[in-house]
Chains A and B, each alone.
Chain A
Amino acid sequence: MSPKNDSPGEYKGIWVYVEQKHGAPARVSLELLGKAHSLAQMLMVEVTAMLMGEGLANQGEELIYYGADRVIIADDPIFKDYRTEVYSAVIVSQVLRKKPEILLVGATCTGRDLYPRVAARLRTGCIADCTELGVDQEMRLMIASKPYFGRNVMADIICPLHKPQIATIRPGVFELPIQNRTRKGEIICAEEHVKEEDVKVKVLDTVSLHVNGAHLEQAKKIVAGGMGVGKAEGFTLLKELADLLGAELGSTSLPVDVGWVSPERKIGQTGKTVSPQLYVACGISGAIQHFAGMKNSEFILAINKDPKAEIFNFADYAIVDDLYKVVPVLIQELTKSQAK
């Protein structure tokens, strides 16, 4: 393991790893391109998008519109399915050749599978599951922040002596940038060859799943419940409210852990990051790990019977009362007003 890079100063520029599915870039990768673009301006460097897969010939332009100055495309049938072995070989080879100082990755299943391994091979750090990103301009350091252990604690994590500084970032943390179709950039084909005979892992089958609540990230309205809901049936009541509002159902982590709600509905640091126009929080205390996932909501209504609950510090409207008293009446009044 090399404790430090010999000449970290040689490392320059910000890379975004662009995850794709059937050729279409993942939303989180585009969010990261937008963020990379603003960080790059502070460091006065360029943004490079790194894209791998099969049949990607026309994908480069779009990434430039979203903020990349340069796109490196590794396009080959062998890259069709995501495989750790193949992808890590290509990325490590490109990084060693082109030496970026910062590498940003969506904290998706495959992003979290791939980049710890890439980091280990490069003997650098990988900061997992960040919810905020900044740079120290003077030190040229990336500052990646995330909720820490405990209720309202954040930590700033840095990787001061090793390059590239790698971070995985939760989907939905940053806004989707607006495309700028006048942007110009360079598209480069990565000359990387991997032979199938050398690859130990084969993908024998892929079965798409229908995922419930998968659209939370895009939802305009969310009704979410926490431990204060107290039982699985309580979520049926919240679902009724959600349906009336045309909202999705969400949850904190604990109701998921005890099995009242399916894991796809978890919101927070270790769940989804959402940014609806309306967020109705029922029986939620407002721990930072949950807040991290919903703080960009526009209109937050909190229903909690504890007047000192943390959530009242960042809600727009507060109802200090038992949710089992409030929600049924709200359902009733909504039904009435809709009948009119």
Chain B
Amino acid sequence: MEIVVCIKQVPETTNINWDPRTGTLIREGVPGILNPNDKNVLETALQLKEKHGGSITALSMGPAQAEEALREALSMGIDKAILLSDRRFAGADTLATAYALSLALKKIPKVDLIVCGEESADGMTGQVGPQVAEFFDIPQLTYATEIEIHGHTIRIKQKLEDCHRILESSLPALITVERGCNIPRIPSMEQIMEAYRDKEVLLWGTGDLEGNSEHFGLIGSPTQCRRVYIYKAERRRVQRLEGKTDEVARKLIQLWQQNNLI
């Protein structure tokens, strides 16, 4: 079975800057980590491969440093890694991201299953998975917590707000996996060394994809950030309750009673 996993490097949330002109995140030079949910993606794919054989390719789009996320994937046991990196991919919204990822997917022969995370820690849209499925023209099975494959059929347990559903589809298909649906393996020092020393990360630019260059990156993104601003909450007239704690508590209870809150 041929599995492709889409994984993403996300900035460490404490260190964030954006381009004041385009409103897009500046990712270069900001320390990144593998999107936590995408560790579940890798673990899901590795477990399926252990059961059914085949090989796994990890695919990521991002600046050069996103290679680190792919090396991490390789150290966990992923077979191949491809990084889509090119200035012209920069500033992509979910549609332009999914478009580029799907063109890369089309170059990988006989893909049976694509695994994405439910959500990234920075974009947090959960849109890339479904949009890749659309461009690749295959069914999508989202919010998966359990996955089973029998021959050419995949079955997942899907978690929605207030129910679980069992969905079944033919392959090829795309699934998005829930955060925390499994416990990702931790690679050994040896495996990490190997991933950096013996394995290769293929680097593809816009020239390697057969697509319309107008649909990549910022110019290919229908959504734009018009304004980024510091939010000023409408200040309320805050009243400080001071004094001995039991007095404060009694004052508060009295206030609540006056306002019919208790």
Kindly identify, within residues 130 to 146 of chain A, every residue whose CB is under 8 Å from any CB belonging to chain B: 143
Report A-chain residues with C-beta under 8 Å of the C-beta of B125: 116, 128-129
* A126, closest chain B residue (CB): B127
B261 touching A221 by the CB < 8 A rule? yes
Collect the chain B residues with CB atoms within 8 Å of residue A108's CB: 161
Considering the complex, which residues of chain A in the window 309-340 have a beta carbon less than 8 Å from any beta carbon of chain B? Answer: 312-321, 325-326, 329-330, 332-334, 337
Contact of B95 among A114, A125, A203, A207 (CB under 8 A): A125
Stretch in A10-18, A36-44, A155-163 touching the partner:
A155-163
- Residues of chain A within 8 A (CB-CB) of B245 are 321, 325-326, 329
Measured CA separation A60–B183 after assembly (Å):
46
Do residues A113 and B235 form an inter-chain contact, with CB atoms below 8 A?
A: no
**Closest residue of chain B to A334, judged by CB?**
B253
Question: Which residues on the B side are within 8 Å of A7 (C-beta)?
Answer: none
Report Cα–Cα, A214/B127, bound state, in Å: 24
How many residue-residue contacts, CB under 8 A, span A and B? 225
Between B16, B223, B238, the greatest number of chain A beta carbons within 10 A of the residue's beta carbon is seen for: B223
A278 near B249 with CB under 8 A, answer no
Query: Which of A152, A319, A329 is within 8 Å of B246, CB to CB?
Result: A329
Q: Whole-angstrom distance from the CB of B160 to the nearest CB of chain A?
A: 4
Which interface class (under 10, 10 to 19, 20 to 34, 35 or more) fits A?
35 or more
**What are the residues of chain A within 8 A of B128 when measuring CB–CB?**
116
Q: Which of A129, A203, A317, A330 contacts B124 (CB 8 A)?
A: A129
Partner of B238, one of A155, A315, A333: A315
Q: A126-B94, A204-B167, A205-B166 are in contact. Are A156 and B139 (CB under 8 A)?
A: no
Question: Which B residues, 218 to 259, have Cβ-Cβ distances below 8 Å to chain A?
Answer: 220-231, 233-242, 245-246, 248-250, 252-253, 255-256, 259
A155 in contact with B131 (CB, 8 Å):
no
Verify A155–B239 contact, CB threshold 8 A. Answer: no
Determine the interface band of chain B, counting residues with CB < 8 A from chain A. Answer: 35 or more
CB of A123 within 8 Å of the partner chain: yes
B interface: dominant SS: mixed
Q: Which A residues touch B256, using CB under 8 A?
A: 278
In chain A, what residue has the closest Cβ to B160?
A109
* Contact B231 A202, beta carbon cutoff 8 Å: no
Contact stretch, chosen from A50-58, A70-78, A179-187, A295-303 = A295-303
1/0 per position for B156-187, CB-CB distance to A under 8 A?
00011111111111100100000000000000
| A291 and B236 within 8 A (CB) | no
Bound complex: CA A185 to CA B252 (Å): 49
Q: Is A150 an interface residue (CB 8 A)?
A: yes
Interface members, chain B 88-129 (any A CB < 8 Å): 93-95, 98-99, 122, 124-128
In the complex, B215 has a CB within 8 A of chain A? yes
Stretch at the interface among B44-52, B140-148, B191-199: B140-148
Are B215 and A1 in touch, CB under 8 angstroms? yes
A318 in contact with B241 (CB, 8 Å): yes
Are the C-beta atoms of B167 and A317 separated by less than 8 Å? no
With a cutoff of 8 Å between Cβ atoms, the chain B residues found around residue A102 in the complex are: none
Q: Which residues of A contact B25 (CB under 8 A)?
A: 149
Residues of B contacting A316 in the complex (Cβ-Cβ under 8 angstroms): 236-239
B134→A149 contact, CB < 8 A: no
Residues of chain B contacted by A113 (CB below 8 angstroms): 130, 140, 142-143
Residues of A within 8 A of B19 (CB): none
Residue-by-residue, is A263-300 near B (CB-CB < 8 Å gives 1, otherwise 0)?
00000001000000110000000001001000100011
Residue A121 interfacial (CB < 8 Å): yes
Residue contact A300 to B252, C-beta cutoff 8 Å:
no
One of A1, A110, A157 near B223 (C-beta < 8 A): A157
Question: B18 at the A/B interface (Cβ < 8 Å)?
Answer: yes
B221 touches A330 (CB 8 A): no
User: CB-CB < 8 A to B221: which residues of A?
Assistant: 125
- The answer to whether B161 and A120 touch across the interface, beta carbons within 8 angstroms, is no
A84 close to chain B: CB less than 8 A: yes
Across the interface, which residues of B come within 8 angstroms of A288, CB to CB? 231, 233
Are B165 and A206 in contact, CB atoms less than 8 angstroms apart? Answer: yes
CB-CB contacts below 8 Å: B1-27 with A: 11, 13, 16, 18, 23, 25
18 A-B residue contacts at CB 8 Å? A1-B99, A81-B165, A84-B130, A84-B142, A110-B160, A113-B140, A116-B94, A126-B127, A154-B231, A155-B229, A156-B225, A161-B222, A162-B222, A205-B165, A206-B165, A214-B162, A315-B236, A333-B250
Taking A129-B125, A156-B229, A337-B253 as known contacts, 7 extra A-B pairs with beta carbons closer than 8 A to each other, sorted by chain A number, are A85-B139, A112-B126, A117-B133, A153-B229, A316-B237, A318-B239, A330-B253
Which residues of B line the A interface, CB within 8 A?
Answer: 11, 13, 16, 18, 23, 25, 93-95, 98-99, 122, 124-128, 130-131, 133-135, 139-143, 155, 159-170, 173, 212, 214-215, 220-231, 233-242, 245-246, 248-250, 252-253, 255-256, 259, 261-262
